[in-house]
Amino acid sequence: MPRKPLELLPHLTLTQITKRYRNCKDPRAQLRWHVVWLLSQPNQPSTAEVAQWTGYSTVWIRQIIHRYNLEGAAGLDCTLEPNLGGKPLVLNLEQQDLLYLALQKPAPDGKLWTGAKVAQWCLEQTGYQPHAATGWSYIRRILATRGAQGLYLSKARGKGI
């Protein structure tokens, strides 16, 4: 059974919606305004057509319209916090500098540094025990930003983790 067509509540006129759509600076919010603008046209397209034109799913189109109907124009503005990329880093910048200095000497056991040994070093510095893979991530981060010159690193990538 097909769904009934979406109905927009008249929060704004078509002229006001057009102006907000065209003047929007945030690309995500502009796409939401585009959806509202398309569905506010006199010859309203179907949800499937709008989804095809915008690249959104029909479910997401419906969510945008429901949010617009509930909150008006404020519902389309991006009010979410930016995605900061997950968990905070185990080591701050100063501790990363200390790790770089430590990697210039042999590991505490006198051998090469591995991800597990860096994780143990992090535990000693911060009191937090990261996974060995996190230790290897810090090695890779240092390699990418400062190079490998003079560092005592295990060449068996993945095996020392």
**Whether residue 161 sits in one domain with residue 89:** yes
Contact between residue 75 and residue 36 where contact means Cβ atoms under 8 Å apart: no
Asked if 65 and 34 touch (Cβ cutoff 8 Å), the reply is no
* Domain stop point among 56, 75, 94: 75
Residues 59 and 121 in one domain: no
Residues 108 and 39 in one domain: no
Residue 160 has pLDDT above 70, yes or no: no
Report, as an integer, the average pLDDT of 95-124: 92
| Cut 0.75: pTM above it | no
User: Domain range holding 130?
Assistant: 84-161
**In terms of domains, do 66 and 107 share one?**
no
Q: Any idea which residue has 């100063």 for tokens?
A: 94
Give one DSSP letter per residue of 45-107, joined into a string. PPHHHHHHHHS--HHHHHHHHHHHHHHGGGGTS--SPP---SSPPSS-HHHHHHHHHHHTS--
User: Tell me: the pLDDT tens digits for 69-109?
Assistant: 998 988 887 655 555 566 778 888 899 899 999 999 999 99
CB 135 within 8 A of CB 122: yes
For the segment 38-56, what is each residue's pLDDT rounded down to a tens digit?
Answer: 999 999 899 999 999 989 9
Distance CA 108, CA 45 (A): 68
Count of positions (residues) in the chain: 161
The domain boundary, picked from 23, 42, 75, lies at 75
In a domain, 5, yes or no: no
Residue-wise pLDDT tens digits, 8-40: 899 999 999 999 999 988 888 899 999 999 999
| 88 and 160 assigned to the same domain | yes
Task: Show Cβ contacts of residue 143 under 8 Å, excluding neighbours closer than 6 positions.
Answer: 151, 153
Residues 60 and 133 in one domain: no
Domain count, the chain: 2
Nearest CA to 32 among 68, 70, 6? Answer: 68
